[in-house]
Structure 1
Amino acid sequence: MTDIDDDSTVQAAGCVLWRRSPFDGQLELCLVHRPKYDDWSHPKGKLKRGEEHLAAALREVEEETGYTAEPGPPLPTMYYLANGRPKRVRYWAAEAVSGVFAPTHEVDRILWLSPTAARNRLTQPRDRTLVDNLLATVRHA
């Protein structure tokens, strides 16, 4: 899909949330389960009116996972159709700082997984490329 940003394009933002395991120091990625769609994805959501993309991404991470995050470099922007409308989702790498998950009607579970397990658990294949991009970013940090 082309890079279109007209009024019909749904604007959203999210993060590939990561941390070092408290047990062995290995990299872990956070995935969220949305019961409405019964899928596993990276935390993301629509922008509020007048909201900047990065602010929306960090807000969505906190709302969906309970974690505050330190933003890192931008990751690829995803374009796809959602309910027949074009959707643009800007992503960032983000390191989890602190927090505790509490289930909501929107997200009922989260998992902290190794990058390989996260790639395999993600429902949408397009989300897997974000894992690969995060790994390249974190290795060079």
Structure 2
Amino acid sequence: MAESATNAAIVLAAGGIVLRGEWTSDAVEMLVIHRPRHDDWSFPKGKLDPGESFEAAALREVHEETALRCTLHAEITSPELTVMYPVDGGMKQTRYWFMTIERDEGFKPHDEVDECRWVTFEHAATLLTDPLDRALARRAQDELA
């Protein structure tokens, strides 16, 4: 069942840990994005539209930010275990799914995202700006181990 985009002071959001390469090897890479407005490196994510499910929002946001059409795989978070980011006096509750690419429609820099980069888990741990995102990268690596 879809949940509303806001719940009191909690903004609901969803995103993806887009992977390429062999999931069980050290060669797997994850996609990270640079957001010029925040001058940070993060995972693709965004707020749910009214009536939209977390899963649909995750796929939509990854596509909007990276031009990648993806397939959802296992959720790395859960309704009980989400990533909570502080935003505008409230909190943003974000759920993430592992994803793989179905189709690459050709990324072009835009206002929200000016660069996409494929990195190893080790590189992600140093490149990602927010400590919560770095912890999520470690959780993703542990899940795939």
- TM-score, length of structure 2 as denominator length: 0.84
Q: How far does residue 138 in structure 1 lie from its aligned partner after superposition?
A: 2.9
Match of 2:71 in 1: 70
**1:95-134 aligned within 5 A:** 95-99=100-104, 100-134=106-140
Q: What stretches of structure 2 of length at least 5 have no aligned partner?
A: 1-5
Can you list the C-alpha shifts for 1:57-79, whole angstroms capped at 9, x where unaligned?
01101111111111111113111
**One-letter identity of the residue aligned with 2:74:** P
Q: Residues 31 and 112 of structure 1 are in contact (CA less than 8 Å); yes or no, is this contact kept in structure 2? A: yes
SS of equivalent residue, structure 1 residue 61: helix
4+ residue runs of structure 1 moved beyond 3 angstroms?
none
SS across alignment from 2:102: strand
Per the alignment, residue 93 of structure 1 pairs with 98
What TM-score does the superposition give when structure 1 sets the normalisation length? 0.86
* 1:80 shift after superposition: 2.7
Q: CA RMSD in A?
A: 1.7
Paired letter, 1:65: T
State the partner residue of 1:17.
18
Per the TM alignment, residue 37 of structure 1 is displaced from its structure 2 partner at its CA by 0.3
Aligned to 1:44: 45
Instruction: Count residues in correspondence.
Output: 132
- Distance in 1 of aligned mates of 2:74 and 2:142: 11
Contact 1:16 1:130 in 2 (8 A): no
How many angstroms does 1:7 deviate by? 2.5
Percent of counterpart pairs with the same letter?
38
Distance 1:26 1:66 in 2: 23
